Amino acid sequence: MKFKLTAQDKLSKARAGEITTDHGVIQTPIFMPVGTAGTVKAVHQRELKNDIEAQIILGNTYHLYLRPGLETLEKAGGLHKFNGWDKPILTDSGGYQVYSLSQARKIKEEGVTFRSHIDGSKHLFTPEAAMDIQRVIGADIIMAFDECTPYPCDYGYARRSIEMTHRWLKRCCDRFDSTEPKYGYSQTLFPIVQGSVYKDLRERSAEVIASFGREGNAIGGLSVGEPAEEMYAMTEIVCNILPQDKPRYLMGVGTPVNILENIALGIDMFDCVMPTRNARHGLLFTKNGILNMRNEKWKNDFTPIDEDSDLWVDREHTKAYLRHLITSGEMLGAQIASLHNLHFYLWLVNEARQHIINGDFYSWKNAMVTQLAQRL
């Protein structure tokens, strides 16, 4: 994997760049649609490519390990062949499930023992296993195995957690560097900075992660319930330490406002389930603000879903029709809303990129965040 910086904003730390992988080039800043179980919910791969113009999607190691399972994925030739996506893929390591499955797991130095949410069966994820599983899945970018601490989290726990995460990272790197990719293309390992909302822990973790000298770095453990101001403060601290010449990935973030503010702090890559999850509940993001399609006010509104959009479903369907689909529980409602939200997120990061290149990102961002947060 290679990363090239192409532009830097003068009034913020926002930057535009290009990540080159064996499955294609990714222009940054970028938003990555989340395809947890090998699919971005309610969206076909052709729509991801042609309508949304996604450049990279995510898969989830924990979910893919349980279903369809490693044997099936390896027989298929990896996730790209299995789901028919020929552009880059990133997989998380299962570390987030360590956080989210708090009632069904035990964390030890060896790794994490957990019970499947599907059938209750018992499994062990170690740093080595996380590398081996992601080799089988075959993502272009794979994540180190870490612990994502909850919020709030006391200082002592957060300190012990980052120390273990750093020890786990050494084991991840040793295993990754002693194994080869399975399907004839290269894979890249990103470490993850942790440290909850403690400045000194974030600094320490960022310094340790940077010292490993991998091709890219990630920031985890944010957007887990802390105030947005805390997220921005921690992101700024970490971006000041992580190397300038490598991509920075802020995991699990976030709202359109979160994304723009973090681009301004120097983040290059984002992912979040919010555009698709909110879509299924009838919440649409637009550049003028947020629409709740369940509201009565849209019942007889026969204007296009989004008049400013160049996406065909936004022009061809009305707000009244989409509200009918959503309130009726029709699958087409989730499909249209998901397409809209993902298209908007990709439009937003591409606009940010163009304004960074044009030299007016900071003023554009400040105007946009006011609009984006409005409820329409």
**198 labeled part of a ligand binding site:** no
Q: Is the pLDDT of residue 94 over 90?
A: no
Q: How confident is the model at residue 115 (pLDDT cuts 50, 70, 90)?
A: confident
Which pLDDT belongs to residue 103? 72
Structure confidence by residue, pLDDT tens digits, 214-247: 999 999 999 999 999 999 999 999 999 999 999 9
Report if residue 369 sits inside a domain: no
**92 labeled part of a ligand binding site:** yes
Report if residue 322 sits inside a domain: no
Give the number of domains in the chain: 1
Report if residue 128 sits inside a domain: yes
Which pLDDT belongs to residue 187? 98
115: its two tokens: 């019970």
> What is the domain-level CATH number for residue 135?
3.20.20.105
Q: How confident is the model at residue 98 (pLDDT cuts 50, 70, 90)?
A: low
Report if residue 26 sits inside a domain: yes
Report field, pTM of the whole predicted structure over 0.85: yes
Q: Is the pLDDT of residue 101 over 80?
A: no
**194 labeled part of a ligand binding site:** yes
The helix (H) or strand (E) run that includes residue 280 is helix 274-280
DSSP 5-49: EEEE-SSSS-EEEEEEETTEEEEESEEE-B-TTSS-TT--HHHHH
Q: How confident is the model at residue 99 (pLDDT cuts 50, 70, 90)?
A: low
Q: Is the pLDDT of residue 100 over 80?
A: no
Name the residue with higher pLDDT: 21 or 113.
21
**93 labeled part of a ligand binding site:** yes
**94 labeled part of a ligand binding site:** yes
The one catalytic residue among 140, 268, 271, 306: 271
Report if residue 70 sits inside a domain: yes
Report if residue 183 sits inside a domain: yes
Report if residue 242 sits inside a domain: yes
Strands 141-143 and 89-92: parallel
The whole-angstrom separation of Cα 146 and Cα 190 is 11
Please compute the mean of the pLDDT values over residues 364-372 and round it to a whole number.
97
Please compute the mean of the pLDDT values over residues 58-64 and round it to a whole number.
95
**186 labeled part of a ligand binding site:** no
Report if residue 126 sits inside a domain: yes
The one catalytic residue among 92, 140, 306, 314: 92
> Which amino acid, 108?
K
Does residue 200 carry a catalytic annotation? Answer: no
The whole-angstrom separation of Cα 149 and Cα 102 is 10
Q: How far is CA 111 from the centre of its chain?
A: 24
Find out whether 181 and 143 touch, Cβ atoms under 8 Å.
no
Does residue 306 carry a catalytic annotation? Answer: no
Q: Quote the domain boundaries for residue 244.
A: 2-272
The whole-angstrom separation of Cα 47 and Cα 159 is 44
Helices 331-358, 361-372: crossing angle, 10 deg rounding: 150
Q: Which stretch of 79-83, 120-124, 168-172, 213-217 has the lowest confidence by average pLDDT?
A: 120-124
The whole-angstrom separation of Cα 95 and Cα 102 is 12
Find out whether 4 and 23 touch, Cβ atoms under 8 Å.
no
Please compute the mean of the pLDDT values over residues 275-294 and round it to a whole number.
97
* Strand partners for 2: 20
